[in-house]
Every structure is written in structure tokens, then in C-alpha cells.
Structure 1
Amino acid sequence: MERFFRLKELGTNVRTEIMAGLTTFMTMAYILAVNPIILSPTGLDWTGVFLATALAAGIFSIAMGLFVNFPAALAPGMGLNAYFASVVISSAATDTPISPAVGLTAVFISGIIFIILTVTQIRQMLITAVPDSLKHSITVGIGLFITIIGLKTSGLMTIAVTSFNDIKANTFTPVGGSETVIQLGSFENSEVVYTLIALALIAVLMVMRVPGALLWGILATTLIAVITGHVDAGKTFSDNTWVPDFGTMNFWHFDFEGVFEVGLVTVILTFTFVELFDTFGTLIGTANRAGIMKDPEAGKKKVGKAMLVDAVGVGGGAILGTSTVTTYVESSAGIAQGGRSGLTAVTTGICFLLAIFLSPIVMLVPGSATSAALIVVGVLMMQAVKEIDFSDMVYAIPAFFTIAMMPFTYSIANGISFGIVSYVLLAAVANMTGKGKGQYKIHWMMWLLAILVIARYAFMDAA
């Protein structure tokens, strides 16, 4: 392993990598429970989606580690799975309802598009085209995005509005006399209390520089939750089976004729658009955090290979019977624990494969423990903000838009989109007026992306 993963060269060791991989798995394991809940209302079998989720995460995380030596794990993406479900469910009342098979076919086709874009080096051009200020802001934005996920899933943050119409009509329900849309959760909620316990444990361990602080914090919180009865271990074990039923899987559940009959061009393009920017942002963010981009040329090659594995994962996940598989921002948790090589991703992948047979144990980990870990990861990724030149408005404004739009619109793609368009506009104005003296470089792909982004939001559903 030392030679294969080049551990000494990367400044790491086997113990650190395994601990990092376990930490990444702990922060991602929620997808095993959440993905079947989101996709089963579409008509896909719950158990089949669970198995597809575990297999896809396991296979493609291991592939990322073995073929790229990159410490990032993959699994069916949150947001994209919700979009998949909404497309299928909302079409039920129309004249041309979309079946789960047609939806999976749309995901598979978007995966083929990704492979083509990656093999032709078009996706890799993004690494050169995007200015460093935006790359660093993507890292910071993802950190805040992860924090928002942790705050929301833990209950520490509540949202008292479901749509813009609620704000206009002032119909959202205030909590504790507050009239803000985003509010502090109730401390009567046990999930909030256990999240605070986990935060305290992880923070103290990190201050004490204990290796694997995130993982030990998660495990300690799980133990406390079991002892205090917050997690019912007996019920958890009795409600889950140790023997998986692979016959329930939706393997190669495709309907190519249905795609053309229904006309899912917009859906396919939406999958492609969101995944393109989500993956780019995640890979750049994690690569920066892992120190891979310190050597731009070597970093570009590694991220390019990672993009290919990610592209294959999109189609591969659809074959197994789940929505879009993508590189996970939660990989930053393992990287924060010192993960620097593909051994981290391999460890995470093996854990997902074992989860197929050990689901009762996996389900013991409370959401409050993983939520706390995600919040702390936000602190670590925030460090990249010092690399952004906020004294230069051409860089500062796009960077701010990128950072702010990711958590506040709950979308990595939205943040990157606003950053790209604003940078192209401001850099062009500065160069044309002479204020920038030609110093602001605008890669031709940035112009193309800006046009595509504007077209996407003008003519396509912004979901």
C-alpha cells in the first residue's frame, strides 16, 4: 500500500488514511437511509435503492482510489435525487407520465454525455479557465454549504418558509417570536442537544490535536446516544435484515423508447448542467483542501482522471438502479482528518460494501453525530478565504457571489454560475475601460460558460 498509494510522498501513512476513510464514510452514511426514502415514492423498490446506493458508492469510491489515487468518495447525490423524484412524481398527473425506468434512462444518457465531455478534455479545461480567486471561493462556498447541511439536518437551524410566495404573503410561521425566515432550532429537540454534544466533543478533540478527532467524536456521540436511549439499539437491529435481497434491485431498468416519446431533453440537460458544476466545484474544493493543486499541472491531471471516474459513476449508478452518482462534498471530512491518497477513498468504498451486510450497525450512528462533523468541516474549509484578494473588486464580487449563493440557494451549481457570469462581466468592463489595464484574463471557455449559464436560467427550469 505504501508504494501503490505513494503514502510517504504524500506525507501520510496507512493509519491516517484508514481513519480518514472511516470519517468520510461516517459523514456520508446518511445517504444509505435517505436515498431510498427519496426515490421509493417514484415506484422504485426501497430495498433495491438501498442496495444500489451502497453498491454504487462502494464500487466507484474504490475506483476513485485505485485508478486516480484521489481521497474523494462518490455516492448518489443529494439534490439530484430529489430532482429525479420530483420529475417522476410531478408527471403522474400529466398526459405523458414519466416512469422510473425513463428517469433512470435520462440519468444514464447524461452519464454518456459526461464521458464524452471528459474524454475530449472539455471538462478539464475548466481547471485552467476558472481564475484562482473563484477556485478558492468555491472551496469556501462548499464549506458553508456543508455547514448549512449540518445545521439543517441537525435541527440547529430551521426554515420557516417553503416558497417565495410565503414571504410575499408573510404566511411563514415565526418561532419564539422571531420573524426571520431562518431561525435557531428548539433546544427541546433531542437531535439539537446531541448535535451540541457532538460539536463539543469534536471541537475539544481537535483543539487537543487528537488524530481522527472527527471520527472519535462521531463514535463517542453514538455510544452516548445508545447508553442514554436516544438510539434504540434493540429496535434498530430487529428492524433490519442482515441478508440483502439482491433480487429487489432495479438493475438495467431502462426505457430508451420512453425517453424520446416523453421528450426529456430538458431533464437530461438539467442533470448534465447541475452535475457539471457540482462535480467541478467539489473536486476543486477537495483538491485544494488536500494540497493537490499546489502543483497546478499535476493537480490538473489528477482532477481530470477523477472527472472520468465521476462520469462513469453517473452511468454506472443508473445501471444499478439509482439516481446520479457524484463526488461527495463530505469527502472533505476525511481530507480534514489527513486523507491525502486513494487509500482514503478505498476505505470509504469498502465500508459502503460492508454496509450491505451490516446495515443494522450503520443505522446506529445518529444523524446528530454526522451533522456536527459536517459543521466542523465548514470551519476547516473556510480557511481558503485568506487566499482571495478582497481588495480587488473584480475578484472580490464574483468570489462573494460564489460563496454566498451556494449555502443560501442550497446549490453548488448556483454559486459557481453566479461567480462565472459576474467575473466575466466585471473583468470585461475593467479591461475595456482601461481600469484593469488588461490584467484580467478571460479564458474563451469562461465566455462560453457565461453564455450557457444565462441561457440555462433564461430558458430552463431552475430546479
Structure 2
Amino acid sequence: MERFFKLKELGTNVRTEIMAGLTTFMTMAYILAVNPNVLSAFGSGATGGQWYPIFLATALAAGIFTIAMGIFVNFPVALAPGMGLNAYFASVILSSAASDKPVTFEMALTAVFISGIIFIILTLTQVRQMLLTAVPDGLKHAITVGIGLFITIIGLKNSGLLTVGVEASNNIEAHKFTDVAFFETVFHMGSLESPGVQLALIGILLISVLMVLKVRGAILFGILGTTVIGIILGSDYVPTTINTDVTPWVPHLNELQFANFDWDGVFQTGLISIVATFTFVELFDTFGTLVGTANRAGLMKNPEEGKKRVGKAMLVDAVAVSGGALLGTSTTTAYVESAAGVAEGGRTGLTAVSTGVFFLLALFLAPIVNLIPGSATAAALIIVGLLMIQSIKEIDFQEYTIAIPAFLTIVFMPFTYNIANGISFGILSYVVLATVSNVLGKGKHKVHWLMWVLAILIVARYAFIGSQG
């Protein structure tokens, strides 16, 4: 084991690596409850989107591909269905429900699978690295911030803290200024008398206190603590009945919705922009996680060796996207929480293998995980949003060529309830502003030719597919 993982060479040992793996697992195990709760709300009856199959897919995807990262790359990075992309997955289904071309759970899984294949091709052909060079750092950070706010709104809605009203007409002829409806807002505060809202507030407070106290696994312990408090408060807060026929202690892998795809539906509906968004967001999310974790672990001291290992890690990550879709879950990706294990001394793939084994063991905890109420996981979503918006400090808001596109990227994601819109307006505005400033001789940013290609594709998307395409 020491020779395979090069433990002595990297200044670590078996005990340290296993403890680091446990630490990583504890900081990201919340996904076992959050992902099924988010995705199962948008399923389609007997053919997909049920809680238990999604739980199985989440645990298996995290376990299998994290172990693969450890064995094939010797990298201390864990993978699981990603926050943000699972919310986008759910929003695609929800936002299209009332349209003439609704997107089903199976169609969305197919779109994720296709995006994974594209991702593999982009990784093998090195185009992925070129795209990462083309897009300015400010926009990359803005994408992360926008997704953080997007996740926060998902959490606020799921908890009941935020409700969405009917948008008032802007037609002044139809509504006089004295009409109350004219001043009606789209977003409303939920009822504080609701048990679900009360439990969500308890969850936010509990997780926040644990984070202030710098407790490892604060989000997971906060979710579990909120669930216990809900059980104590009564059945209005947490359903306390365990049905082992629905969520058995021993994993029923025959219930896994393997390759639950709808190819005909995808081609009839036309999910080109959705596939592109999954691919595009994953590009930047993974790159930042892998490079940041590698730097933290000291694996980039030799730049050439570091780049090779990051390249291999990117390939495993790309395979995980399609692999996760095959198992029945949204995009599986590298987790920034891996840095927690690195901080505990994890330096090799044994850390990742340990984390993966813990996820596989979690398959036997389905009845306990199923007790966790939506209010508890909603609180976790809100806090995860906080963690993601921290990237805003990396954006130079004094440089308006970057600041304006970054701002549009950030606000369009949550307020239009669509990640693709935020990315699209950010890229388009950057290309226009940078080009105009360059033509006038005041430009500081050279527009990469790939940005022009992306801008043209975005214009074509809105022209021929529409804003909901």
C-alpha cells in the first residue's frame, strides 16, 4: 500500500490518510440527504425521480468515482453529485413543466449523460484547457457566486422561508399607482407559523453556530441535529415513521434506475442549451476544485508533474459525469470539501479511497437518511450558498469591463432561475464591452477567439431556441 500510493515519498502514512478520508466524508456526507430531497421532488412517478433510487445513485456515484480518483490518479479528491448542478437539474424540470415541451426527469438525466460524453472529448482533445484560458478569471468567479445565490433561493423556497407571488403587470393603464397590486413583489416571506419554516430557521442557526465554532462536518452535524430537534418537537416537524419496505437497511440495488434515459424525448424537446450549460459550468467548477486542492496538498510543487496529475483527475471527473447519469443522478463532480481532508494531512489517493469506502458503507443507512426532513436539507442549501459566494472577493469591481459582466452573471442566475441565462449574459456583455474598449484604444483585455465563438452560439441560442431552451 505504501508503494502503490507513495505514502513515504509524499510525507504521510496509512493512519493519517484514513483519518483524512473520514474528515472529507464527514464534510460532504450532507449530499446523501440533500441530493435525494432536491431531485425526488421533480420525478415522474414509477419511471424515475424517486427518493430511494436517487439515494442509491448518490452513494454509489460518490463511492465508485471517489475510489477511482484515488486508485487511478493517486489524488486526495472526492467526487459526488454536485451542488448547484443538481439544483439546475431540478429547475430545468420545474421551469418547463407548464410549457408545451416539458422536460422529464429521464430527459434531464440523458442531457447530463450527453454532457459527460462531450466533457470526455473536450478533456482528451485539450480543448478544455483552452476554454479555461479564454474565459476571464472574473467571470469564472462570478459563475460560482451566481450559482451560490441560485442554491440559496432553492433552499429558501424548499424551506418555505421564501414564497413566489404572481408578478404584477407593468402596464400603468391597467394598474393605477394607488392599487396595492401594482406594488406587489414577486418574492414574499413565508409564514413563520409553519413548522417547516420554524425547523429551517433552527437548522440555519445550528449550522451557523457549528461553523463559527469551526466544527468539522458542521453542515452534516447541523442537518442531523435539526432532525433530532424536529423529532423531539413532534410529527408536525419530522415524520418519525420508518418504512423499511421503502428504504431498507440492506441496499436493494435492483431498485437502482440504471440508464434511465429518454433519447426520443431529448431530441424532440431540443435540450441543446441545457446540455451546453451542464458542460460549461462543470468546466470551471472542476478546474478550480482540482487545482485548488492540488495546491493545498503541495502537489503542484513540480509544475509538470502537477499538470499531468490534474489532467488525469479531469478525465476521471469527466467519466464520473456520464457514470453518475447512468446510475440515476445529476452531474457527479469533484468536491471542494476535499480540502478538509487535505487540511487533516491527506496527500495521496488513499484519502480518496477511504472517503469512497465510507460512501459505500452509507448505503446501509438509508432509513436514517430518509428521516431527515426537507427543512433540514434546505437549511444546508442556504449555508452552502454562503460558502460559494465567497468567491466574490476575487472579482475586481473597479474594472468595469469585468465588473459589469460579472454582475450580470451573478444576478441573472437567481433572478431568472436559470444558470444558463447568467453565463450567457456575462459572456455576451464581456465580449461587447472588451471589444468596444479595445477599438477605442482604452482596452485592457484581449478577447480570446473562443469567446467570440461562445458569444455567437449564445446569440443563436436565444434567436432560435428562446430563453427557456
Structure 2 vs 1, CA of residues 248 and 373 (structure 1 numbering), >3 Å: closer, same or farther?
closer
Q: 2:406 aligns with which of 399, 410, 421?
A: 399
Q: Would you say 1:422 and 2:429 are equivalent positions? A: yes
Correspondence for 2:208: 203
Q: Which residue, out of 39, 42, 62, partners 1:38?
A: 42
**Distance in 1 (alpha carbons) for counterparts of 2:159 and 2:401:** 37
Shift of 1:248: 3.8
Number of the residue aligned with 1:63: 68
- Residue 400 of structure 1, CA deviation: 0.8
Shift of 1:300: 6.5
Q: Is the 8 A contact 2:397 2:403 kept in 1?
A: yes
Deviations, residues 65-97 of structure 1 (Å, cap 9, x unaligned)? 55453645332834335646988997899xxxx
Partner of 1:411: 418
Matched, 1:74 2:80: yes
Cα distance in structure 1, aligned partners of 2:388 and 2:266? 41
Aligned mates of 2:351, 2:378 — CA distance in 1: 20
CA distance in 2, matches of 1:250, 1:309: 22
**Aligned residues of 1:136 and 1:384 also touching (Cα < 8 A):** yes
Question: For 1:392 and 1:360, how far apart are their aligned partners in 2?
Answer: 52
In structure 2, distance between residues paired with 1:42 and 1:239 = 13
**1:183 partner SS:** strand
Paired AA for residue 248 in structure 2: T
What SS does the aligned partner of 2:270 have?
helix
Contact kept in structure 2, 1:17 and 1:344, CA below 8 Å: yes
Decide which of 364, 368, 372 is 2:371's aligned counterpart.
364
State the shift of 1:155 in Å.
1.8
Alignment deviations for residues 152-176 of structure 1 (CA, whole Å, 9 cap, x no partner): 2222222224xx7988799xxxx99
Per the alignment, residue 152 of structure 1 pairs with: 157
Bigger shift: 48-57 or 379-388? 48-57
Q: Which residue of 2 aligns with 1:133?
A: 138
Residue number in structure 2 paired with 1:24: 28
- Corresponding residue pairs, total: 443
For 1:7 and 1:414, the matched residues in 2 are separated by: 46
Residue in structure 2 matched with residue 459 of structure 1 by the alignment = 464
Letter in 1 for 2:220: L
Residue-by-residue CA offset, 1:282-303 (whole Å, 9 max, x unaligned): 3255458758499796787666
1:308 alignment partner in structure 2:
315
Which structure 2 residue ranges, 5 or more long, are not aligned?
none
The partner residue of 2:218 within 213, 221, 227 is 213
Name the SS for the 2:81 alignment partner. Answer: strand
Deviation at 1:17, TM superposition (A): 4.7
- Report the AA paired with residue 22 of structure 1: M
Q: How does 1:64-143 map to 2 (within 5 A)?
A: 64-67=69-72, 69=75, 71-75=77-81, 77-80=86-89, 83=92, 108-143=113-148
| Residue ranges of structure 1 left out of the alignment (5+ in a row) | none
Query: Which amino acid counterpart does residue 249 of structure 2 have in structure 1?
Result: W
Change (3 A) 1:274 1:191: same
How many angstroms does 1:225 deviate by?
1.9
Within 5 A, what are the aligned runs for 1:280-319?
A: 280-284=283-287, 286=289, 292=295, 304-319=311-326
Question: Which residue matches 2:331?
Answer: 325
| Cα distance, 1:143–1:90 mapped onto 2, change above 3 Å | closer
Q: Secondary structure at the match of 1:39?
A: coil
What does residue 191 of structure 2 align with? 186
Across the aligned residues of Structure 1 and Structure 2, the Cα RMSD in angstroms comes to 4.3
- Measured in 2, the distance between the counterparts of 1:27 and 1:106 equals 21
| d(CA) in 1 for partners of 2:200, 2:366 | 22
Q: Distance in 2 between matches of 1:210 and 1:108?
A: 36
Distance 2:136 2:199 in 1: 41
Please, what TM-score do these two structures have when normalized by structure 2? 0.77
For the residues of structure 2 that align with 1:85 and 1:409, how far apart are their CA atoms? 13
In 1, the alpha carbon distance for the partners of 2:364 and 2:169 equals 45
CA deviation after TM superposition for structure 1 residue 36, in Å: 4.2
What secondary structure does 2:457 align onto?
helix
Task: Check the 8 A contact 1:42/1:100 in 2, yes or no.
Answer: no
How much has 1:360 moved relative to structure 2?
0.4
Shift of 1:397: 0.5
More off after superposition, 195-204 vs 391-400: 195-204
Alpha-carbon distance in 1 for matches of 2:48, 2:71: 31
Asked if the contact 1:40/1:49 (under 8 Å) is kept, the reply is no
Structure 1: distance between partners of 2:223 and 2:128 = 36
Distance 1:381 1:265, change over 3 A: same
Query: Within 2, Cα distance between the matches of 1:450 and 1:303?
Result: 28
**Aligned equivalents of 2:11 and 2:57: distance in 1?**
31
Cα pair distance change 1:147/1:99, threshold 3 Å: closer
Q: Describe the shift of the 1:289–1:318 C-alpha distance in structure 2 as closer, same or farther (beyond 3 A).
A: closer
For the structure 1 residues 423 and 335, does the alpha-carbon distance in structure 2 shift closer, same or farther, using more than 3 Å as the test?
Answer: same
User: Could you tell me how far apart the structure 2 residues matched to 1:131 and 1:182 are?
Assistant: 33
User: In the alignment, which residue of structure 2 is the partner of 1:385?
Assistant: 392
Residue aligning to 1:354: 361
Q: What is the distance in 2 between the residues matched to 1:88 and 1:247?
A: 29
Quick check: 2:115–2:275 contact (8 Å CA) kept in 1? Answer: yes
CA pair 63-120 structure 1, distance change in 2 beyond 3 A: same
* Kept in 1: contact 2:161–2:189 (CA 8 A): yes
AA at the equivalent of 1:201: L
2:286 is aligned with 1:277: no
* Letter of the structure 2 residue corresponding to residue 273 of structure 1: A
The structural deviation recorded for 1:413 is 3.1
Specify the SS of the correspondent of 1:383.
helix
Q: Report the AA paired with residue 286 of structure 2.
A: L
In 1, the alpha carbon distance for the partners of 2:108 and 2:209 equals: 46
Give the aligned residue type for 1:446.
Answer: M
Pair 1:450-2:450 in alignment: no
Give a deviation string over 1:347-402, Cα, whole Å, max 9, x none: 66445433433210111223333332332333333333222221111111011112
Q: Give the whole-Å Cα distance in 2 for the aligned partners of 1:92 and 1:460.
A: 12
1:22–1:347: 8 Å Cα contact kept in structure 2? Answer: no
